[in-house]
Amino acid sequence: MRASEKSPNPPPSARHAREPEPAAGRGPVQDLDGLIEQVRGAIAQIDVDGFAAGQHLEGSVQAELAPGVKTAVSLPKPEDYSGDAAAWRRAWEDLLQRLDAHRNRLSVLPGTPAPQALQLLPAERELLAAIEALRK
C-alpha cells in the first residue's frame, strides 16, 4: 500500500502498533550506491508506515550518511509536509531521482574526506600565511 492511500493521521494505537523496521542499508554510507539504497529503503518504509516512519527515518538515514554526503543532500523532513504523507514520499522519490541522475558524476563523492592533511613545506606554509594575513 502506498503512503498516499493511508490516512495522514493514523490513530495513536496504530502509530505505536509496532516499531518500524530500520531503513535499508546498514552501516555508514560511503558511496552514492549506499545512499541510494538508504533512500529506497526510506521510501519503502513510508509506504508501510506513512508518517509513523518519520522520526525513525530521520535517525536511521541521516545518522548513517557520510559527513560530506550529509552536507550535499537535504533529507525531506516530515514536519515540512504538514500531514501530507504522499507529498513527503514524493520528496523522497525526487531525491532518489536526483541521486540516480548523478550516480556517475558522484562516484568520487564530494564529501570523500581527505585521507590526511597534506604535509606542507615551510615555504608553502609561509606563502599561505602571507595570503591569510592579507585577508584579515
Partner 1 sequence: MALKLSLKPSETFIVNGAVMQNGDRRGVILLQNQARVLREKDVMREAEATTLCRQLYFAIMLHYLAGETSGVVHDRLDRILATCLVATHSAAERAKLLEISALIAEGRAYRALVLARGFYTDMEAGPAAGCGDR
Site for partner 1, rule CB under 8 A: 32, 62, 68, 70-75, 77, 95, 98-99, 101-102, 104-115, 117-121, 123-124, 127-128, 130-132, 134-135
Nearer to partner 1, 1 or 118 (CB): 118
Residue 44 CB, shortest distance to partner 1, in Å, is: 20
Please choose, from the candidates 67, 104, 85, 96, the residue with its C-alpha nearest in 3D space to the C-alpha of residue 4: 85
Q: Specify the residue, 1 or 131, whose C-beta has the smaller distance to partner 1.
A: 131
User: Closer CB to partner 1, residue 6 or residue 46?
Assistant: 46
Q: Which residues pair with 65 in a beta bridge?
A: 29
Residue number with CB closer to partner 1 (5 or 79): 79
The DSSP call for residue 44 is H
Shortest CB 55 distance to partner 1, Å:
15
CB of 43 to partner 1, least distance (A): 16
Distance CA 70, CA 65 (A): 6
Place of cell 606563502: 127
Q: In the bound complex, what is the minimum distance in angstroms from residue 90's beta carbon to partner 1? A: 15
The C-alpha atoms of residue 78 and residue 53 are separated, in whole angstroms, by 9
CA atoms of 70 and 109, how far apart (whole Å): 11
Asked if 62 and 41 count as a contact pair (C-beta separation under 8 A), the reply is no
